[in-house]
Amino acid sequence: MKNKRTISDIKELLSKDVQPSVLSELAQDERKGVQKLLTQYDKRHQAFQEQMQIFSQKQRLEHPFWAQGQYVAGVDEVGRGPLAGPVVVAAVVLPSDNTLYEVDDSKKLSISKRSELYAKICDQAIDISVAVGSPRLIDKENIYHATELVMKQSIDNMYLLPDHILVDAMTIPVNIPQTKLIKGDAKSLSIGAASIVAKVARDRLMEEYDRKYPEFDFLHNDGYGTKKHLEALKQYGKTPIHRESFSPVKDISKLYGPLA
C-alpha cells in the first residue's frame, strides 16, 4: 500500500513523536525508504524509553524528599588525584520537575556534552555552590580532610540550607542528615549534576593555569602525572600550584625552586 505522503514528508513527521495509528499506517507502506525511516524511529524511541528508565532510577533517592517539599543537595568533588591544581567541590539542588535526562558521571561524558549539560544544570537548578581547595590547603590538611573541608564550604555557601545531602563516598562535617554513596555520581541525579559542575569549573581553572605555565600542558593533563607533566616537573621544577605533599613533587630537586 502506497502512502500519499512523500519520503521527505514522512521523515519530517517521524522526527517527532507520532500516534500509534500513524505508525500502523506507515507500516503498510512498502517503500524501502519509509521502512528504513520507521526502523530508525523505533530505535530512537526505544533508546529514549531506556534513557527515561535510567533517569527515573537516578532520582529514586531524591523523590522521598521532593515528595515532602524538601530540598536535597547532591555534592561531589573533582581533582583529588592530580599532582597540581585545586580540588573543586560542587553542591547542587535540583527541582523535582527537572529535565536533565542525560546527566551522568562527568567522567563518562565528552567535553562537549559536559559543557552542554553544565549550561542546562545552571539553567534548571534551584541552587548551586562551588568551593575550591587550594594546593596549600591540601598540603596542610591532607587531601581527604581538605576535601571534607571544601565540601563543608560548598554547603555553607549555599543560598538555601538543604534538608538532606547526597554525597559521593564522603562524609561532610555539617549538621545536616546525609547519605553517603559509593559511585554516587552514577547513582544519583543530584550527585551526577554536581560532578559535572565541579568538573567544568576545575577544567576552566586548569585552562587558566595552562596559559600561565604552558610547559606543563595542564590543558590536556588537568594536573595528573602524565609523562609530559613529569618531564616538565624534572626540567623546570614545581610551580605554586603543585601539591608539595604528593610524590613525585616532593621528591623533585629544588634546584630551580617554584616558578613565579
Tens-digit pLDDT profile for residues 125-139: 999 999 999 999 999
The pLDDT, as a whole number, for residue 258 is 54
Shared domain for 204 and 218, answered yes or no, is no
Shared domain for 97 and 49, answered yes or no, is no
Q: How confident is the model at residue 4 (pLDDT cuts 50, 70, 90)?
A: confident
> In this structure, is residue 177 part of a structural domain?
yes
Q: How confident is the model at residue 1 (pLDDT cuts 50, 70, 90)?
A: low
Shared domain for 74 and 189, answered yes or no, is yes
Shared domain for 44 and 129, answered yes or no, is no
Shared domain for 201 and 230, answered yes or no, is no
The total of structural domains in the chain comes to: 3
- Is 259's pLDDT higher than 70? no
The pLDDT, as a whole number, for residue 25 is 86
Shared domain for 76 and 161, answered yes or no, is yes
Residues 188 and 72: their CA atoms lie apart, in Å, by 11
User: Amino acid identity, residue 68?
Assistant: Q
- Is 86's pLDDT higher than 80? yes
The pLDDT, as a whole number, for residue 114 is 97
> In this structure, is residue 104 part of a structural domain?
yes
> In this structure, is residue 73 part of a structural domain?
yes
The pLDDT, as a whole number, for residue 21 is 86
Of the three residues 38, 58, 78, the one that is the final residue of a domain is 58
Shared domain for 49 and 155, answered yes or no, is no
Query: What are 210-257's pLDDT values in tens digits?
Result: 999 999 999 999 999 999 999 999 999 999 999 999 989 988 745 455
Shared domain for 15 and 130, answered yes or no, is no
**Nearest partner of 148 among 172, 179, 112, 180, judged by Cα:** 172
- Is 175's pLDDT higher than 90? yes
Shared domain for 170 and 115, answered yes or no, is yes
Query: What are 13-40's pLDDT values in tens digits?
Result: 888 888 888 888 888 888 888 889 888 8
Task: Print the domain residue range for 72.
Answer: 63-208
Shared domain for 52 and 72, answered yes or no, is no
Neighbours of 111 (CB within 10 A): 10
- Is 260's pLDDT higher than 80? no
> In this structure, is residue 258 part of a structural domain?
no
Of the three residues 41, 58, 75, the one that is the final residue of a domain is 58
Shared domain for 152 and 242, answered yes or no, is no
Shared domain for 74 and 123, answered yes or no, is yes
**Average pLDDT over the chain, rounded to an integer:** 92
> In this structure, is residue 80 part of a structural domain?
yes
> In this structure, is residue 256 part of a structural domain?
no
- Residue located via cell numbers 530512537: 44
Q: How far apart are the first and last CA of the chain?
A: 77
Is the distance from CB of 193 to CB of 74 less than 8 angstroms?
A: yes
> In this structure, is residue 2 part of a structural domain?
no
> In this structure, is residue 113 part of a structural domain?
yes
Model-level pTM greater than 0.95?
Answer: no
DSSP-H helix ranges across 59-175 = 63-67, 111-124, 135-141, 143-156
Query: What are 87-112's pLDDT values in tens digits?
Result: 999 999 999 999 999 999 898 999 99
CATH code assigned at 127:
3.30.420.10
Query: Coil, strand or helix: which one is 127?
Result: strand
Report residue 238: phi and psi, to 5°.
-85, 155
Of the three residues 58, 75, 91, the one that is the final residue of a domain is 58
Query: What are 30-66's pLDDT values in tens digits?
Result: 888 888 988 888 888 888 888 889 999 999 999 999 9
Residues 187 and 194: their CA atoms lie apart, in Å, by 12
- Is 192's pLDDT higher than 90? yes
